Structure 1
Amino acid sequence: MRTVELDGSPEALEGLKTALADALDGGPAVLPFTDPALRDAMTPDEPAEPDTAVVIATSGSTGAPKGVLLSARALTASAEATHARLGGPGHWLLATPAHYIGGLQVLVRSLLAGTTPALLTGRGFRPDDFAAAAAKLKGGPRYTALVPTQLVRLLDDGGAGLAAAKAFDAIVVGAAATSATLRERAADAGVRIVPAYGMSETASGCVYDGFPLDGVRVDLSGERIRIAGDVLAHGYRLRPDLTAESFRDGWFTTSDRGVRHGDGRIEVLGRADDMINTGGVKVSANAIERLLGEQPGVRDACVVGLPDPEWGEAVVALVVPEGEPPEADELRAAVRSELGAAATPKRVEYGSELPLRGPGKIDRAAVKARLRSGLSS
């Protein structure tokens, strides 16, 4: 297995592009990484599982390291279906870390399109840097992939970064849910976004703006979303037990709940384990978060259940305000009116940002720890 350490430099990304092109052509499997401990957990000295082109190493939501095994077929199917949905092969800007599937797929799409991607290098994300990288793209169509936090920063900046974003034919927004408020802000600003749902196990986004990509099947008949198609990974690195548990009969069982609306659009309702049992009533943390996010003065919110001697679990919210913080009683009243008394947060705290894990995903464990300690910043 070929390991590629990504240190934020253009040279490292070029090295990954070369290794990835080789892997897609039948060469050694590639393991991109930034964390040496996570790399070592993948035991790269041992041979890669058959049919593996890329191993995406992730700590996962539980912190237990996992390596997602992706074939050249899965990566190619995802890239080709994405181009078909967006309007054909184009020129891509890499703006997210390439050791995560969203960033790596930008490189795969560029390779298949025969175009040279623009690279946003370095650590962190700054609107001016985004604009400078976007200016290097020649020709069209022009695409990029962002996480919601990056999109918010471009919208907030309102300068060169936003102007650059408006020039893209499509911006795929994934890794975390895109709120209705963020959709509206982007539309009002003239930024064409395509919210995507997917994960490493599906070779990146496989449901675009509520509809599966060509060749992707989604089953919502059970408690969790199941996905099938050529985009699927074929297991986890050196974990046949986890592979057997999640990949069965050509289907991958996710950790999420979903519903299909009358027009065929799929709505992801959040993780199946996000339910909070408070006073014997189960409420959805994701539903509360969505409602809070729609309230005036709220930029973002995370809702968790904390141990409580009276309620078993108490519903507690950490809210990131947009300017002056809204009154907690007003937020609580909005939740009570729409979702009922059981879903109403017992406590509302405020912070300048939500702790993140990976590319734009909220670190719920960190939110719980912050709220337990009484810290709100």
Structure 2
Amino acid sequence: MRPLRVVPVGDPLHVLTELRLALSASGDALLPVPATEVAESSRPDRLGPVPRRVAVVIETSGSTAAPKRVMLSTDALLASAAASSVALGGDGQWLLALPAHYIAGVQVLVRSIAAGTEPVLLPPGHFDPAVFAEYAGRLVEPLRFTSLVPVQLARLLDAAADNPAILAVLTRFTGILVGGQAVSPALIERAVLLGVRVLRTYGSSETAGGCVYDGVPIGNTVVRAVDGQLEISGSVLADGYLGDEERTRDRFVDDRGLRWYRTGDLGAVAADGTVSVTGRADNVIISGGEKVSLDAVEALVRALPGLSEAVVVRSGDPVWGQVPVVVLAAAEPPDLDQVRAAVALRLGPAARPACLVLVEALPLLASGKPDRQALEALAGR
């Protein structure tokens, strides 16, 4: 067994130093957490212990699910880094633009350690395109990479449209990984038109980060669909959940000697192995006796003019049981009848949003994802 130590991520350079020790098995396993969380809680410095092979524990608290602690081995983390290197065309230098307590941030550091290159570390705090461009200018290796969430990419593209210097920085990246949540086709199209190479990634903490790039599994990752839900196998899988054997047994299953992670995502795998994700299995409502995927409704709504940042959540209804509600940060509401007609045409009458809720700003998690619990509370007012 191995001690597990809490590491605040306020100083990314310190996290990088500790991570090198953890991966080499000469230091404790790490649980990276926001610096404010340590300051405001009585969390002890050391937890655990954890299995000897575990190097990092990622604590997740998604927008809908209960928090969990994902145990990742050195082998899984390095397998992910190696697969990413092959998929991207080689080792390179990375810019850390995400918090190091998220798997995408940790993997930027792991890839840097595996490649033997020094990452450029963006200062913690509010994401500023100008600051990003300044630090990106410090990358000196021929191959240059970064990992972002969609909202960061959108802000960079907005800034690049008016600032040639920022655009020049973006086009110098060999690849920009974008994941953590669904990426709209319109956002990808904007990047392509500007000459920015973006790769959509799919994965989670349980798969040591992105394990599918632009629909193609990387490394020895295998994806299958079982009853419409995606399952993943390969060297990148986590060991399970710390202190939660029941959840581990539910999510990580053995099938004829091969270990699979049940993602809880709806999707399909084409004959050529290309993976498509349509939404979360737990983000489905029953409205008037019919199943409605809120992710499918949201994707369609976001394709409508002026609704690219809209979020669709559930709300109780005395007649239909539950109904979709569109939440949008806007001063003027779009035409609800047009939105309902567009959704009904593609997804059927049961999927029509019941109403539009306007807010000054969408509540977000620290990762940049919409805080769906807060949004559902707003929708139900």
Instruction: Return the offset for 1:56.
Output: 0.8
**Equivalent residue in structure 2 for 1:214, among 212, 215, 219:** 219
Give 3-state SS (helix, strand or coil) of 2:153's partner.
helix
User: Which runs of structure 2 are paired with 1:240-279 in the superposition (5 Å)?
Assistant: 240-249=245-254, 250-279=259-288
- Aligned-partner Cα distance in 1 for 2:75–2:41: 24
Residue 263 and residue 39 in structure 1: after superposition, are their counterparts in 2 closer, same or farther (change >3 A)?
A: farther
**Equivalent residue in structure 2 for 1:367, among 366, 370, 375:** 375
Instruction: Return the offset for 1:185.
Output: 1.2
RMSD: 2.0
Contact 1:101 1:203 in 2 (8 A): yes
- Aligned-partner Cα distance in 1 for 2:276–2:266: 9
In structure 1, the residue matched to 2:365 is 357
Contact 2:130 2:166 in 1 (8 A): yes
Tell me the number of residue pairs that the alignment of Structure 1 and Structure 2 aligns.
368
TM-score when normalising by structure 2:
0.91
User: Which runs of structure 2 are paired with 1:97-116 in the superposition (5 Å)?
Assistant: 97-116=99-118
In structure 1, the residue matched to 2:355 is 347
Contact 2:224 2:268 in 1 (8 A): no
**Equivalent residue in structure 2 for 1:191, among 186, 192, 196:** 196
Comparing 242-251 with 120-129, which one deviates more in the overlay? Answer: 242-251
Instruction: Return the offset for 1:317.
Output: 1.0
In structure 2, the residue matched to 1:6 is 9
Gaps of 5+ in 1: none
- Aligned-partner Cα distance in 1 for 2:239–2:42: 21
**Equivalent residue in structure 1 for 2:334, among 307, 323, 326:** 326
Q: Deviations over 1:2-36 (max 9, x none)?
A: 321122xxxx2111111111111112211111123
**Equivalent residue in structure 2 for 1:81, among 64, 80, 83:** 83
Comparing 189-198 with 241-250, which one deviates more in the overlay? Answer: 241-250
Counterpart residue identity of residue 16, structure 2: K
Residue 196 and residue 252 in structure 1: after superposition, are their counterparts in 2 closer, same or farther (change >3 A)?
A: same
- Aligned-partner Cα distance in 2 for 1:226–1:315: 27
Contact 1:176 1:361 in 2 (8 A): yes
- Aligned-partner Cα distance in 1 for 2:39–2:62: 14
Comparing 45-54 with 347-356, which one deviates more in the overlay? Answer: 347-356
Give 3-state SS (helix, strand or coil) of 2:46's partner.
coil
In structure 1, the residue matched to 2:55 is 53
Contact 2:81 2:107 in 1 (8 A): yes
Contact 2:313 2:379 in 1 (8 A): no
In structure 2, the residue matched to 1:96 is 98
In structure 2, the residue matched to 1:309 is 318
Contact 2:83 2:219 in 1 (8 A): yes
Q: Deviations over 1:152-211 (max 9, x none)?
A: 111112224443222211100011111111111111122110000110010000111001
Identity of aligned residues (%): 45
* Counterpart check, 1:179 vs 2:179: no
Instruction: Return the offset for 1:262.
Output: 5.0
TM-score when normalising by structure 1:
0.92
Give 3-state SS (helix, strand or coil) of 2:356's partner.
strand
